Amino acid sequence: MQSSIVIPHYKTPDHLEWCLRCLAHFTDEPHEVVVVDNGSGEAMVAPLRERKDIVLVEREQGPDLDQVAHMEALDAGIARARGRHIVGLHTDTFVFRRGWLRFLRERLEAQQYLAYGPSHHRLYPPTLAERLREWWRPEPDDRRWIRPVFTIYRREIFEERKFADYGDVGELTASYVDAGRAGFLPRREAAEWAFHVGGTTKLELLQHRKRARKRKDRHWQRFLARDEVRALLTESPSLGA
């Protein structure tokens, strides 16, 4: 098995359906899809048990939620995965171009990286002004972190490390970044391969808080209007609902 795509899932069935449909349509290379349900409940898990296109891992969340539960789910999926490469994907990340997996794998191999994926801004300071400064910091300072939104890893990373050993997803690869063993995909280039519902509009949601829903809907409609995506809607009209 060449690559395993690991997708943590928690109560986002519509996003997950889009994510899986896009993976099936746009991934030509050998791969497996491991979905880790993080305690979504019987009503949401039951349909996943019937699917033949995924490997389902079921786990219950412990007392820790959000980031910690997400990292534990990633670890559970990686433990079950069989691929030489691990791709971490969020349920709200939709690939829409054939060759995306080959592209990531070739970048990883060409540079002998241990991890390769989009750079990520940390948006946790207390004020809006500080948040905007975080967004507009010049390179290379804003390239400090790497997250599994659309990221490929060599399997050997996880022989000694787990996501849950750290306080943040990006910390696992921090030492590799410092050693030049992890590479960053510019966000604009990443957007040519995949649409991330949450991350695509973060800056605009900060700048236009009163119109956040309209801005987000506009991005969504723009995504649906792509020629590649319209073909999926033709096959399954319910996806655009």
Look at residue 162 and tell me if it is in a domain.
yes
Q: Which domain holds residue 79?
A: 3-125+140-196
For residue range 71-96, what is the model confidence (pLDDT) as tens digits? 999 999 999 999 999 999 999 899 99
Look at residue 240 and tell me if it is in a domain.
no
Look at residue 171 and tell me if it is in a domain.
yes
The better pLDDT of the pair 1, 169 is held by 169
Backbone angles phi, psi at 66, to 5 degrees: 55, -125
Look at residue 58 and tell me if it is in a domain.
yes
pTM: 0.84
Look at residue 118 and tell me if it is in a domain.
yes
| Number of separate domains in the chain | 1
Look at residue 216 and tell me if it is in a domain.
no
Look at residue 16 and tell me if it is in a domain.
yes
Look at residue 233 and tell me if it is in a domain.
no
DSSP readout, 16-72?
HHHHHHHHHHH--SSEEEEEEE-S--HHHHHHHHT-SSSEEEE----S--THHHHHH
The DSSP symbol for 119 reads B
For residue range 153-166, what is the model confidence (pLDDT) as tens digits? 999 999 989 999 98
CATH code for position 186: 3.90.550.10
